[in-house]
Amino acid sequence: MDLGVPDHARALQQHEAYCETLEQCGLTLTRVEVDERYPDSTFVEDAAVMMRTPARRQTSALATSDTRAILTRPGAFSRAGEVESMAEVLSRFCPELDSIKEPGTLDGGDVCEVEDRFFIGISQRTNEAGAQQLAAWLASHGFASSFVDIRGLKNILHLKSGLTYLGDNRLVVIDALADHDEFRAHDLVRVTAGEEYAANCLRVNDRVLVAAGYPGFEGTLRELGYQTIALEMTEFQKMDGGLSCLSLRF
């Protein structure tokens, strides 16, 4: 994004508001310690992919044996060290950790979970080898997957920069992704031109978190019956980050 230099103090305020909102929506947070060697590590979603096994997904009780995670191999190699610290944190929740291996690269921001299927973006950060490894890992746990090649799109970094699953068979999409065959079985909520950044929203229980400043998209969600919470994301937008990037959820 060519939006200027992030304001550090303001970014901290926006991050704290984000964390408080997740808690207000009913989530329990595990906060990873600051590691100033890796300034991109605030985008924790990229370092791993987590899921619950299909047989247990409809229950409210959470057992660690039902939770699986695979550590990624970020496409920006300056981020490789983030995976080590994430492995330490995730070992508290997962009985075993798998990982993407060379020559594969994978960013979690390229992985969109839709019920029992995952859409995997092939991007400048996630290559075909990494996507194939993830697909095989998901299949071993009972999940289907499809690839979405976004390498020809210059306005999004990751697949989830332009795609979000809301539940209710609804996908939020930017126009550049709307015609993909993989999405035809879903009801598409299209983001209007000029509000593409808002496509990276986040449903948490009965709320949808949206980036502030996009009234058209927020109005569309409300017309569909969703209760929205608008959060200032200006400083993270300057770093090509969005709402989903700042947390890893399961």
pLDDT below 70 — which residues of the chain?
A: 1, 54-65
Task: Tell me how many domains the chain contains.
Answer: 2
Give the model's pLDDT for residue 52. 85
Considering the domain boundaries, does residue 199 fall inside one? yes
Give the model's pLDDT for residue 55. 54
* 19 and 39 belong to one structural domain: no
Considering the domain boundaries, does residue 195 fall inside one? yes
What's the token pair of residue 175? 């126009």
* 80 and 99 belong to one structural domain: yes
Give the model's pLDDT for residue 206. 96
What's the token pair of residue 85? 């610290």
Considering the domain boundaries, does residue 235 fall inside one? yes
* 38 and 22 belong to one structural domain: no
Residue type, 129: A
* 96 and 209 belong to one structural domain: no
Q: How far apart are CA 74 and CA 141, in angstroms?
A: 22
Q: How far apart are CA 41 and CA 32, in angstroms?
A: 9
Considering the domain boundaries, does residue 169 fall inside one? yes
CATH code of the domain in which 74 resides: 3.75.10.10
Beta-carbon contacts of 30 under 8 Å, excluding residues fewer than 6 positions away, are 89, 92
Give the model's pLDDT for residue 2. 84
Give the pLDDT confidence of 115-127 residue by residue, as tens digits: 999 999 999 999 9
Give the model's pLDDT for residue 16. 98
Domain boundary among 98, 129, 155: 155
* 221 and 131 belong to one structural domain: no
* 93 and 208 belong to one structural domain: no
What's the token pair of residue 5? 């230099």
Give the model's pLDDT for residue 154. 87
* 8 and 117 belong to one structural domain: no
Give the model's pLDDT for residue 45. 98
* 115 and 214 belong to one structural domain: no
* 57 and 15 belong to one structural domain: no
Domain boundary among 111, 136, 155: 155
| Model pTM score | 0.94
Considering the domain boundaries, does residue 250 fall inside one? no
Domain of residue 182 covers: 1-28+162-244
* 145 and 117 belong to one structural domain: yes
Considering the domain boundaries, does residue 73 fall inside one? yes
* 142 and 37 belong to one structural domain: yes
Domain boundary among 137, 155, 173: 155
Considering the domain boundaries, does residue 101 fall inside one? yes
Which residues are identified as catalytic? 158, 245
